[in-house]
């Protein structure tokens, strides 16, 4: 977290954290935007590529994730873990296409 001058702080009191938490949402978004602009070019977007290297039948029960094996109503054909060489090829292709990050999801 940072203070008004953009310096990073690690000494927040509980009352200060609660006051920040209780701000109206758009006020908090505005403050976050101001801090972000102090440290990052607002016109630059980091490009990322996302691939599912294993799909479906996840044993976890995350309520938000449609790949969980616990969601029977989702019509999803499970796939085995992709061959690492294919994943590396896809990462290289993503980089060549301009991706700065390559993210892999494995259900």
Q: Say if residue 65 is in the same domain as residue 25.
A: no
Q: Say if residue 56 is in the same domain as residue 29.
A: no
Q: Look at the pTM and tell me if it is higher than 0.85.
A: no
What ranges make up the beta strands (E) of 2-100? 48-54
CA atoms of 55 and 68, how far apart (whole Å): 10
Domain containing 5 equals: 1-44
Length of the chain (residues) = 107
Q: Say if residue 27 is in the same domain as residue 58.
A: no
Residue in the block written with tokens 């790949």? 67
How would DSSP label each residue in 71-93? -TTS----BPPPPHHHHHHHHHH
How many structural domains are present in the chain? 2
pLDDT by residue, tens only, the chain of 107 residues: 545 566 778 999 999 999 999 999 999 999 989 988 988 898 999 999 999 898 776 777 777 776 666 666 666 677 788 999 999 999 999 999 999 999 998 87
Q: Say if residue 36 is in the same domain as residue 61.
A: no
Nearest CA among 104, 49, 51, 107 for reference residue 74 = 107
Q: Say if residue 98 is in the same domain as residue 54.
A: yes
- Tally Cβ neighbours within 10 Å of residue 88: 11
Q: Say if residue 40 is in the same domain as residue 83.
A: no
Q: Say if residue 38 is in the same domain as residue 83.
A: no
């Amino acid at each position: 977290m940072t203070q008004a001058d953009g310096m990073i702080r690690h000494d927040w009191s509980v009352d200060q954290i609660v006051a920040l938490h209780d701000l109206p949402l758009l006020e908090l978004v505005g403050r976050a935007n101001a801090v972000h602009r102090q440290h990052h070019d607002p016109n630059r977007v980091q490009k990322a590529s996302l691939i599912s290297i294993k799909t479906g039948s996840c044993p976890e029960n995350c309520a938000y994730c449609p790949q969980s094996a616990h969601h029977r109503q989702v019509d999803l054909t499970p796939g085995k873990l992709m061959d690492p060489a294919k994943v590396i090829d896809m990462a290289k292709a993503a980089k060549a296409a301009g991706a700065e990050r390559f993210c892999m999801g494995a259900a």
